[in-house]
């Protein structure tokens, strides 16, 4: 307390001393203050100039703006598969700019543009006096050249003084631009790069979108409208806010009168009611943008860690680089084709059989809620419309835009109610192909169409369902569990976990399953027992070793896939199963070169990490997962005629919200996910075997047709386990019986001999002995009444 009092007294003395000095030497004090402020501003300028707050583009980089170069993406075959633009814009020439639109811009945004050198000191003085000292709205002080700097390079968030730092950056860039370009060139650069909202860059695109005209055909009113919306493109959007846009247009026209660009007679003609000829954006089907955006993110990570010689950062849109990737164009095409076929079929089924089991009132209850929350319905209800009038409104048929796979946006006649249902029941997917021996990403498809949805479902975490089970089973094998250990298939209530009672998907109980049979048939009751026996921490630790960085909850339900993990991480984890037990670091960029061929980066090919499990245990798990695709939940895989013993695991989350399948050969892992964005909507039939597996199976079948296949078979010392998957006996009795039984393996040997004899005669047999298909004409498989 005494120290505080002493400190206060000292502070008081210092303040009084300072005040006495100011009164005695006012001129000297003002000089000191001015010099200090000037020194601070100069120091601030130098720090900004030399890049302390972020890279300032060099003159060479700024010269490239007028004729921007593109960075090219190459596939594994070193053929171009994509490009990066600085902006998705279309450039016009100076002759395509009318004097009216140039005059409108200068009169509104920077009246002294043609006389200053990039900085308008008079405007800054006006802003200082009116805004700072008088508290009046004096507008902005930025010149057209400074706006070009802001439009092109944006404003970066700083730890402190964000606005002053960004303003200083823009001043420096503006001065450099003025030293490179003429005033006409700057005006052209401005109109080619400025945003008009709606993801429109450049005057040409804006003229077409709002008026369906070329830039040379714009009249005075239209020119003033487009210049007017630059102040706030969303607020003054002429389609959404015509009154605001009209008012703003009139302000632009008045500015043109004020500075002598037009007279009153022209203004009166131009102040007519706003007439648009709006052209809605046509979004084309696009798959490539998913891997392009992933490559961009990976490039930016590299660029942050590897600055240029001058301290600047490499820019994928400005530097004209060659980016060589691991993507295999054939595999990418297989994924796209498989996705298109399957998702069209699934969407048709979804439209007929979707459910909403988690919402009170089911489908009807959900639709009622969605309609009640719709902005137009809310507005009509506020206006006092009756329920009958609202019902008529939501059911009236109109021409509406509907997105269709492979076609993009098409015109359809449907009601508001139908359009809402179509939107909420839209199925999405993600598919990833990874070389498990090298970590090379060979195929990347993050969704159904980037033009429709930019969500990357390879990277977004989802509930994983039973595709997590192999991790628990491998952890159990690492703890010396035996594949022929039997577990009772009974309902158990776990009082320790709030009376949790895990159930099987088919709701069948009784008898017992061997460990390998429980995985093949995805038996939840047994899997939970195995999880508890192995221990959550052991399973979580193994998952991390296998490449799953997402935090996994310390609860036994993780074996049933309650954790939310991305498809990317799950495929990475399965790679260590595929390759025999080593962790993998996936990568997509193999090499980066400058335009002249100078190599900036080459990927480290040592992407195989530490062993996650003993080879013997991984081999046992591989054999267990082979049973999944041969006789378990994924046995439908056999219908695709893949002549290699692909292993895998299906996954389905509660109420069929998500469907998963991940398949592996010794060289390749392909994983897929299918589901909706709104988890209140579920697939009535949506098991992973039906939704996700067909895409993976189709891709593997396409790979099998190569003259020099990259696929091989898994090899095992013994083809079968020494015990069956299921027994009607209880677990203890089954263990005792099959530990001494010799008949079971003999029966399997006889069965294998019959099957091999059938193959030699080029006839495949189904499980009851009936011929399915001749391999020489492998086109269609009929199982029961269903064609696959």
Calculated CA dihedral for residues 552, 556, 562, 563, nearest 10 degrees? 10
pLDDT score, position 431: 98
- pLDDT for 11: 63
pLDDT of residue 118: 84
Nearest CA-CA partner of 579 in 607, 543, 537: 607
Global pTM?
0.74
Say how far apart CA 625 and CA 347 lie, in whole Å.
29
**211 to each of 187, 206, 275, 367, 774, how far by Cα in Å?**
22, 8, 8, 37, 62
CATH classification of 87-270, choosing from 1.10.150.120, 1.10.3810.10, 1.25.40.10, 3.40.50.720?
1.10.3810.10
**Longest alpha-carbon distance in the chain:** 114
Mean pLDDT by 10 residues, the chain (788 residues): 60 64 68 66 61 70 67 91 71 88 93 88 64 50 85 68 74 88 91 86 90 93 94 93 93 93 81 88 70 95 89 83 95 95 93 87 88 88 88 88 78 88 92 96 94 91 96 98 96 93 94 97 97 97 97 96 96 98 96 92 85 96 97 96 96 90 98 93 85 97 92 91 93 89 70 58 41 34 30
Question: Coil, strand, or helix at residue 488?
Answer: strand
- Distance linking the first and last C-alpha atoms of the chain: 85
pLDDT at position 353 is 87
pLDDT of residue 362: 85
Structure-token match 């798959």, residue found: 287
Structural contact between residues 429 and 457, judged by C-beta atoms closer than 8 angstroms: yes
Q: According to DSSP H, which parts of 154-202 are helical?
A: 162-180, 183-193
Amino acid 772: pLDDT: 36
> Looking at domain 69-86+287-386+428-716, which of 3.40.605.10, 3.40.710.10, 3.40.50.720, 1.20.81.30 is its CATH number?
3.40.710.10
- The pLDDT of residue 765: 41
pLDDT at residue 409 in the model: 77
| Domain limits, the chain | 2-49, 69-86+287-386+428-716, 87-270, 744-788
What confidence score (pLDDT) does residue 614 get? 96
- For residue 14, the model assigns a pLDDT of 62
């Amino acid at each position: 307390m005494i120290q505080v009092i002493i400190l206060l007294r000292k502070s008081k003395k210092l303040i009084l001393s300072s005040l006495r000095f100011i009164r005695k030497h006012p001129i000297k004090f003002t000089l000191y203050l001015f010099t200090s402020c000037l020194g601070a501003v100069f120091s601030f300028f130098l720090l900004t100039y030399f890049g302390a707050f972020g890279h300032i583009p060099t003159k060479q980089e700024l010269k490239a703006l007028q004729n921007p170069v593109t960075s090219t993406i190459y596939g594994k075959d070193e053929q171009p598969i994509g490009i990066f633009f600085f902006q998705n814009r279309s450039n016009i020439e100076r002759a395509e700019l009318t004097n009216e639109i140039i005059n409108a811009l200068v009169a509104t945004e920077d009246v002294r543009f043609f006389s200053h050198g990039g900085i308008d000191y008079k405007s800054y003085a006006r802003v200082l006096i009116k805004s700072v000292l008088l508290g009046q709205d004096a507008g902005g002080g930025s010149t057209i050249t400074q706006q070009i700097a802001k439009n092109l390079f944006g404003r970066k968030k700083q730890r402190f003084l964000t606005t002053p730092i960004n303003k200083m950056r823009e001043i420096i860039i503006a001065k450099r631009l003025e030293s490179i370009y003429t005033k006409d060139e700057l005006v052209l650069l401005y109109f080619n790069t400025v945003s008009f909202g709606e993801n429109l860059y450049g005057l040409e695109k804006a003229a077409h979108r709002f008026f369906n005209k070329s830039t040379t055909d714009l009249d005075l009113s239209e020119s003033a409208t487009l210049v007017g919306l630059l102040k706030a493109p969303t607020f003054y959007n002429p389609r959404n806010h015509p009154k605001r846009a009209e008012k703003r247009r009139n302000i632009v026209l008045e500015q043109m009168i004020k500075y002598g660009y037009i007279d009153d007679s022209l203004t009166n003609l131009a102040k007519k009611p706003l007439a648009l000829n709006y052209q809605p954006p046509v979004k084309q089907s696009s798959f490539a943008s998913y891997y392009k955006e992933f490559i961009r993110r990976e490039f930016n990570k590299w660029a942050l860690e590897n600055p240029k010689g001058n301290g600047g950062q490499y820019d994928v849109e400005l530097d004209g680089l060659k980016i060589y990737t691991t993507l295999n164009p054939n595999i990418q095409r297989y994924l796209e084709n498989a996705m298109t076929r399957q998702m069209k079929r699934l969407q048709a089924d979804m439209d007929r059989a979707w459910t909403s089991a988690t919402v009170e009132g089911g489908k009807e209850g959900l639709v009622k809620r969605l309609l009640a929350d719709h902005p137009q319905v809310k507005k009509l209800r506020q206006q006092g419309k009756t329920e009958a009038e609202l019902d008529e409104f939501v059911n009236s048929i109109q021409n509406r835009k509907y997105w269709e796979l492979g076609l993009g946006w098409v015109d359809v006649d449907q009601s508001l109610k139908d359009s809402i249902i179509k939107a909420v029941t839209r199925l999405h997917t993600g598919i990833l192909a990874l070389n498990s021996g090298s970590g090379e990403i060979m195929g990347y498809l993050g969704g159904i169409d980037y033009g429709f949805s930019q969500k990357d479902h390879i990277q977004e975490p989802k509930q994983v369902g039973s595709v997590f089970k192999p991790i628990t089973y491998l952890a159990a094998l690492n703890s010396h569990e035996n594949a022929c250990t039997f577990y009772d298939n009974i309902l158990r209530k776990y009082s320790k976990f709030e009376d949790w009672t895990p159930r099987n998907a088919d709701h069948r109980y009784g008898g017992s399953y061997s460990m390998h049979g429980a995985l093949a048939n995805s038996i939840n009751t047994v899997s939970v027992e195995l999880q508890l026996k192995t221990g959550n921490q052991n399973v979580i630790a193994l998952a991390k070793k296998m490449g799953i960085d997402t935090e996994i909850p310390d609860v036994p339900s993780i074996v049933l896939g309650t954790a939310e993990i991305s498809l990317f991480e799950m495929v990475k984890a399965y790679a260590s199963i595929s390759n025999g037990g080593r962790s993998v670091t996936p990568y997509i960029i193999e090499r980066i070169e400058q335009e002249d061929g100078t190599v900036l980066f080459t990927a480290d090919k040592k992407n195989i990490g530490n062993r996650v499990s003993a080879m013997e245990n991984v081999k046992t798990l591989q054999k267990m997962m082979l049973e999944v695709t041969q006789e378990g939940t994924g046995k439908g895989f056999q219908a695709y005629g893949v002549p290699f013993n692909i292993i895998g695991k299906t996954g389905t989350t509660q109420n069929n919200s998500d469907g998963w399948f991940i398949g592996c050969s010794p060289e390749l892992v392909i994983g897929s996910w299918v589901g909706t964005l709104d988890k209140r909507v579920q697939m009535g039939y949506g098991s992973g075997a039906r939704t996700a597996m067909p895409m993976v199976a189709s891709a593997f079948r396409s790979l099998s047709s190569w003259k020099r296949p990259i696929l091989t078979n898994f090899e095992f010392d013994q083809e079968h386990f020494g015990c069956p998957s299921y027994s009607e006996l209880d677990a203890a009795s089954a263990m005792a019986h099959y530990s001494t039984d010799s008949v079971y393996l003999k029966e399997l040997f006889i069965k294998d001999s019959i099957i091999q004899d059938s193959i030699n005669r080029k006839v495949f047999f189904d499980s009851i002995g009936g011929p399915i298909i001749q391999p020489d004409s492998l086109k269609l498989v009929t199982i029961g009444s269903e064609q696959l």
